Amino acid sequence: MKGFTIEENEILKKDTKGYYYTDYIAYERRDEVENYPMFLLTLKNDPEKNWWESKLNDAKKKLLKVILNNLPEISSKVKLNPLTVCVIPRSKADNTYRPDQLLFKKTIKEAVNQLGDDFIDGTDYIERHTNTETTHLRQPIKGFTNDGSSPYAGITRDTCDISEEVIGKNILLIDDIYTKGINIDEDAIQALIDKGANSVLFYAVGKTI
């Protein structure tokens, strides 16, 4: 696991400490990265995919192992126990996804519930009710309308319900992949702070290089 800083910008009002498991790069160049997180692409399970159950279960097991290793390490570094674990929702409204497209959040929930008293399950504290643009798609998908707004300051507040339970909590916000300049994660961090979170840390499985 590595540390980095999400820097203050026009959306995020102050620097935020972040951690990530491994580097991430375009699929075509995956051989350049040690520990390339192929399991994340499986768990995205985008509309043109329909992965079989054994493939999805294998991806879940790999993610679970990473989370169970990395979260206690973060806890020991920051000493802000307990950490309330929240997850960045997918880009479309939660109720538009099949259960097998929501396995990333489900796996994080499972990990948190295994880790004990140092972590609080807040994986359902941010729920998207309005579609936003899916930013990782590089070309159109037949039969799929990529509707919704592109990232902007306040998009999390406008398109998500954030639970009052975040107020006063030390939040560990998790996403699958962090990419500088997209600003989805920055906006979600700021939204949690504006909602009343005591502090926000960030963790991504992959960080785009």
Q: What order of strands is seen across the sheet that includes strand 83-87?
A: 2-6, 16-24, 199-208, 170-178, 83-87, 119-121
How much is the pLDDT for 187?
Answer: 98
What is the model's pLDDT at position 27? 67
Please, what are the domains in the chain?
2-137+146-208 (3.40.50)
pLDDT digits (tens, 9 = 90+) for 93-102: 999 999 999 9
Question: Coil, strand or helix: which one is 56?
Answer: helix
Low-confidence ranges of the chain (pLDDT < 50): none
